[in-house]
Structure 1
Amino acid sequence: MIHPVWRQMALTLLWAGFLGLQFILSEAEDVKDVHHSPVLHRQKREWRFNILLAFEEIPPQNLPQLIGQLLNTRAGANTQFKISGEGVDGVNDLFTVNKAGEIFVMATLDREKKSSYKLKAHIFNTITKRPLDDDIEFTVKVQDVNDHAPVFSETYTGSIRERSRQGAAVLTVTATDADDPTSPNGNINYELLNGTEYFSIKSTTGEITVQDNKLDRETQSQYKLVVKASDLPGLPGGLSTTTTVTININDINDNMATFKKETFSFSVRENENPQFTVGTLPVEDRDEKQHKNPRFTVQNFNDVFYVEPDDQNDGALKLRKSLDYETTSTYSFKVVVTEDGVAQPPDNQGSMLTTVQVHITVIDVDEPPVFSKAEYTFDVQEGPIRNKVIGSVSARDPDKANYRMKYSIRGLNCPLEIDENTGQLALKKELDRETEATHLCDVTAQEISPSGLKGYTIVKIKVLDINDNQPELTNTSTIYICDNDKNGTIIGTIGATDKDENPGPFRFILAKRSSNFSLHDNLNNTATIVLTHRDLSMDTIKENFLEIEISDGHQKSINKLDIRVCTCRKDRQIEYCKAYTQTGVSISALIAILLCIVTILVIVILFVLRKRYQKENLVTLGKPAGEIHEQLVTYDEEGGGEMDTNGYDVSILSSACHGSSLRPTPAPAVYAVAKKPPACKGDMAMMIEVKKDEADHDRDGIPYDTLHIYGYEGTESLAGSLSSLDSSSVASNLDYDFLSDWGPRFRTLAQLYGVDGSDSDSSY
């Protein structure tokens, strides 16, 4: 077998011969025929060619390879050729030339990397080293060989609907070849290796189309086609590659929905509610779920049953209304299935089952009582009870046993009572529409049976209105007198309201004649108040109220209207209003006064009781309370000088140091309750401390201010006694100048004692 490279070289040589022939013809054109000249002149080119051809992918063992020769008319024995340009760098030259001008390829070339080289030819004298002719540029063109196979750049996945027409496009595959696209080496041809009974491919473009319209997703939903891409179409030695193309068949609605069997049987309890699912009628449809769209029709009993698609688009048989075993215990009917939008003819035309027979058996259930109405409504007039019985309710046992009923009312707020045997309803209290216009009562009916099943209903009582409410004034806040109002001024318009549903027209009159105001009934449920006093000021009007009688045809009421007296600007704009005149004390004010009086009485009684208790305790000391009070309580805290000796009996304290007591009788004193050791023997300070402590813990005794404040430093203290018992006028001779050094806080004290000036300097 001939190597592809050599085969390609042979083809190239033929191509070179063709080019040589063209070259000879071009040379012949250079000869000029001059018939009118006696001599023929021939002009020849100095360089004979400018294009050379070299093959790529020449094996190294076949190198160097002669690709052409440089020819120049000036070449001789002493001439030398040289080349320069692309691929000639003096180190790893791709091209070389010998003395004879022969050009050789020295390395393997790759057309896909570089398809041509630009070179220059030089000729010079080897002796003089001078060029013999101008340089000429020529091109070495690299001839392509088929050294690259076609390549698919991606994997292909497409889709087409089933039953598509012949010639419908699916997708287009594309391969690329690195060889010269202008030569057969880069020309690609496509071929389908399988699936040709359903698909075809265009050899030049790679477009895959449908071969016929027999694609059926239910038969085969996916095809994997092998596509071959080859170069050198129609010539031997071409290279090829393959790829796999995945084609998915999309579903259409071309199958009719059909039942899976001919007969269905179900059982259902009679107490099931409407829309209860009795059972499922499975439907088969070879199409995908989105194209499974069955419609169902129930024949004969479509008022009792219906069928609708469920989540799986099968038929769900449901109740349209509740069943009654006592009326009908079995049902038998047909159900028909149809489907819209199915391609014709459907694929399953010969195997469709579109009608089935359905049998229903009703199961008896012990049912609760059933009232004749789901809700009873009665209209009852408010006010005094004239006829207690307002109506009745009735319930029955739907079962064949037909047990008797026992009636009752649930809840405590229902104004009705019921006869437990007959269901008769009667009022048990008076109704008031203004308090509650509608009453709802739950009534129960219970079977007198072992099961004792119960049924329920609602009784609604609508209270009808009567005219039993007195009219009341409205718009009273808009009535006021301005101090600049003149006689005949309309000071406001009043209205009336009534709690009744449909009150009659209101009429207004003055219940008590007034010298300051008049009332005009407007006959439209309003009345106008007019000022009639001629000389008016804020101080002249004392009785600023009216008593107005309002009537609605059946009821009357007298309403007091207090009228404010105000200082106003123009257009009766209020600036200030006096308070309403009060003609009496309100109940709330009386209650507040009584509470204050009671509180004061309680405080007085407690104070008297405490005084009595303290007095009894003082009597037990052996001395009259007044005597002790004079000696102990009247002591002045600030000191009274020598007067202290007259107000306080120091002998009492001294007697305590000598074992004496406050009273001649041996009865225990109040101070003895503390049970402290006897007072000092000669130490007055200790005696005072004991007495102070006893007084501090005695809650029932009189507060002995003198003992609490009195301080005795003892005879050994340099400060002496702080009491004024031993003080005299000599104390005034003491020097208090040091107080001025104690700062501003002692300034007042220093001034009192004459420091830093006379009394005239004091600020007090």
Structure 2
Amino acid sequence: MWTTGRMSNAKSRLGLGTSLYFWALMDLTTTVLSSTPMPGVELETLFSDRPQSHQRSKRSWVWNQFFVLEEYTGTDPLYVGKLHSDMDRGDGSIKYILSGEGAGIVFTIDDTTGDIHAIQRLDREERAQYTLRAQALDRRTGRPMEPESEFIIKIQDINDNEPKFLDGPYIATVPEMSPVGTSVIQVTATDADDPTYGNSARVVYSILQGQPYFSVDSKTGVIRTALMNMDREAKEYYEVIIQAKDMGGQLGGLAGTTTVNITLSDVNDNPPRFPQKHYQMSVLESAPISSTVGRVFAKDLDEGINAEMKYTIVDGDGADTFDINTDPNFQVGIITVKKPLSFESKKSYTLKVEGANPHLEMRFLNLGPFQDTTTVHISVEDVDEPPVFEPSFYFVEVPEDVTIGTTIQIISAKDPDVTNNSIRYSIDRSSDPGRFFYVDITTGALMTARPLDREEFSWHNITVLAMEMNNPSQVGSVAVTIKVLDVNDNAPEFPRFYEAFICENAKAGQLIQTVSAVDQDDPHNGQHFYYSLAPEAANNPNFTVRDNQDNTARILTRRSGFRQQEQSVFYLPILIADSGQPVLSSTGTLTIQVCSCNEDGHIMSCSPEAYMLPVSLSRGALIAILACIFVLLVLSNCHQL
């Protein structure tokens, strides 16, 4: 039995009754005899009645815990500790029972000695502790000697897991020219070992590849720039390898690595420069407004928004005649014609063009100025210009029922040269393979040559040519888009064959079919169809039509009691009219078959021949038929007697 008051208090707090206690039980946070007890150390030897046991009153003892190291690889079962009752006289009369988590599977107990062993390899990262229950029984009677007690076996950690970067590999960016110490990214490694015990999970970061450009904080894993004035234009991509080592980085610790791909993002630290200080360009005097004369380019080593350019004409005698715009895709300056040109009036122009960065960073202004200029010389060339159409594009609308030969548009072109040659018109036949149109050779009157059908071709895109009489090589062209307008020339009709089925016991007013219609026309306000019985069926006694006013109609029975034997099929003509001008209509036929149905209204047969055959009889009908047969048999026997 325990002899110290301290032991008695512990047993009382645990509710162990009067006699069951544990050997080799101790809290990991407590140091006994200057070391943590290993599995198999019996507390009976650690807590004898010696004076020094009362000198450790500041320590917090936990009496109901065992501790055992994980990853034991020996061949024999691993000793964990011992259960003992002070009622045990050593004669085998006490039987120790172990139950709870892992009992009999992970842990076993010698029911005579109370020794507990682990029989499986333990992994703290899979399970950190087990809660079990102990009981001492009278071996002869099986009667509990004391109440059941609960205790815990904690798995003691060893350093068997290396740090891992779960989010790696990493991708990061940092602006070029960043000051030394600029934070780039933080990497984090996790260690599955116990962070509360020893240094197994204390991780230290170091950089294996990436010096002298970057450094890493050994405690936080924050990567920072370590070199001044890193230039993206010199080197843009860096592959940095970071190591995380446990045991505080000490020798023997486990390590893991990850890759951090770092890209230097661009800043505007390079001014633009024209590779040419003089450009020579030429333009035909017939060049239309907004036509391109040429391109200039100021090179910028930066990229993206920092390489964006804005070009302007800052001086020159052609500042009012030409314009310049920036192509946002290629960052080039496009010089275009702003006003009509004439070789006879002015043969050359000079422009002074500036290219400048619109997005500047104040800290790099000392590298500027962030603009450059170049001179552009433009020569105007005299040419025999082809005929020019006015306007430069035609859009014509024409109804589809227009009469053949109707003039739908006058096409006009003129010779811009001083000679003002006569013009002859024609249609590019590749643009009108169906030959729906022709143009008067002298007047340019565009007329229809064939009937138009919007339902076949709703648009025509043709090209009209104009040729100088005295110089057939000078040919101008213009695009003419013709939209064919709809007229009401198609009657509505059923989109498919409609067939309906009704039961012989159908009631008056019963819905048997909903119908809809289609029309190839496309009126401006949309289609609206009207439904009614055809004139020849206006007084039909069997069925009627109800217009739903939503382009559909319901077909309803007008009476009840249809019979297959009398008439098995009805043909109902339905008149469908549209809302066009003029109104067009057609007649569609709904085929209605009379069918025999069961009591639930489900169709059984729509064939008149099948009507004579009993398809399905209820249980009551079968009983009635059998009863009749029985009566007939009885009467027949009586007659014979």
The normalised TM-score by structure 1 is 0.40
Q: Identify the structure with the greater helix proportion.
A: 1
Higher relative CO (Cα under 8 Å, sequence separation at least 6) belongs to 2
The normalised TM-score by structure 2 is 0.46
Q: Identify the structure with the greater strand proportion.
A: 2
